[in-house]
Amino acid sequence: EVQLVESGGGLVQPGGSLRLSCAVSGFTFSNSWMCWVRQAPGRGLEWVASINEDGSDKYYVDSVKGRFTISRDNAKNSLYLQMNSLRAEDTAVYYCARASRGAPEEYWGRGTLVTVSS
Amino acid sequence: DVVMTQSPLSLPVTLGQPASISCRSSQSLVHSDGNTYLNWFQQRPGQSPRRLIYKVSNRASGVPDKFSGSGSGTDFTLQISRVEAEDVGVYYCMHHTHWPFTFGGGTKVEI
């Protein structure tokens, strides 16, 4: 059974940092692109970042460039999103998903909520 | 960045009747490799999104054939042949032809 389980969300003050994790099982993680997609409360979906199989290629939406870093540990079947200099507009549920050519495909996690507020 | 515009924003439907959602992009989604990377996703209330269609018209694994996608260039459509209660939710188009990828704003399908 395929499972993607996000963790690391929570309440953080503006300017603060959080590191999200996504633990993967049920498919060959090291052979898969992965990505993060977020959804602000009551809003639509926004693609955030993607990473290729070995972590050598990374892509970001402009609004998070220089603040967020996507990474992976293929030995641990884990995907990460380091989020620095957080802003109120980063408040959202963050989903990890297996990706095809960088875009989310069939397998998604349930998401983890990040709230940026003082 | 490519802007994806969906219509309508809200789609009241009748059970057993067809439904159609439009998605238009601000520039062509045809990649230099010849493929058009346009996907459709469904998000049921309280659930994570689910991919329905990839590359315009290919149904994802496990997706019933009542869902179909069509279109080319900048103009795309998702059709549901006969709406069932389980189809209620928000539907999103998304392109991955050019970086950065973008989603449409979503279409809420309600009975």
Contact A106 B50 (CB under 8 A): yes
A58-107 pLDDT, tens per residue?
999 999 999 999 999 999 999 999 999 999 999 999 999 999 999 999 99
User: Does B51 contact chain A (CB < 8 Å)?
Assistant: yes
Q: How confident is the model at residue B54, as a pLDDT?
A: 97
pLDDT of residue A108: 98
Using the beta-carbon criterion (under 8 Å), do A45 and B43 form an inter-chain contact?
A: yes
CA distance A26 to A7: 18
Residue A107's pLDDT is 96
Put simply, the answer to whether A102 touches B60 (Cβ < 8 Å) is: no
Please give the pLDDT value at position A72.
98
**CB of A58 within 8 A of CB of A68?**
no
User: Which residues of chain A have a CB within 8 Å of the CB of B60?
Assistant: 105-106
Contact status of A45 with chain B (Cβ, < 8 Å): yes
Q: How many CA atoms lie within 13 A of B67 on its CB side?
A: 22
Q: Is A59 on the interface with B (CB under 8 A)?
A: yes
Contacts of B103 in chain A (CB under 8 A): 44-47
Give the residue among B9, B22, B11, B14 at the shortest CA–CA distance from B85.
B14
What are the tens digits of pLDDT across the range B19-47? 999 999 999 999 999 999 999 999 999 99
Q: What mean pLDDT is predicted for residues B85-103?
A: 96
